[in-house]
Amino acid sequence: MIILKFFWWAFFIGSAIASIGSFTNEKANSLGRLKNYAGLSFLTIFVITYFIGTFFNFIPGILTILFDLFYWIFTFSAFSQILWWYIFVGSFFVSMSLFLSLISKEEGPKERIVLSFVSGSVCILTFLSGMYFGFV
């Protein structure tokens, strides 16, 4: 168990430092576009290890406030339904605007294809989760 905790803390602290370092990199952020995929992936690893550590009680009690907040939000059904509608409608309009900018053949960043696919996937996943939870 001590070895597992050691590796968890190494991933947790390492991903936090790596994501901060990646986001503050001047060369990666110089164009003002979403070019910093390494920072996003390290931030994703940080969030996943945070919730895994909270689940397995690797984190001291004072640091589990965020997990308790999310648990309270998702068990409070009216708020989670409003949050679901915001995510669904927002991802729908973002994916549609990116898709329309793709078919209009205007010049723009090359990441529009990836961002359009990702926001469309978020839209579909939120719709399916809303059907499962009865929000639709």
Q: pLDDT tens, position by position, for the chain (136 residues)?
A: 677 777 777 777 777 777 666 665 655 555 555 555 666 677 777 777 777 776 777 766 666 666 666 666 566 666 667 777 777 777 777 777 777 666 666 666 666 677 777 777 777 777 777 777 776 5
**96/51 same-domain check:** no
pTM of the model: 0.39
What is the domain extent for residue 52? Answer: 1-73
**61/124 same-domain check:** no
Decide if 57 contacts 67 (C-beta within 8 A): no
Task: Return the axis-axis angle of helices 77-103 and 112-133, rounded to nearest 10°.
Answer: 150
**31/53 same-domain check:** yes
CA distances from residue 6 to 13, 18, 42, 58, 60 in whole angstroms, order as listed: 11, 18, 18, 10, 14
Among 35, 53, 73, the domain-final residue is 73
**17/68 same-domain check:** yes
Among 52, 73, 94, the domain-final residue is 73
Decide if 15 contacts 50 (C-beta within 8 A): no
**50/100 same-domain check:** no
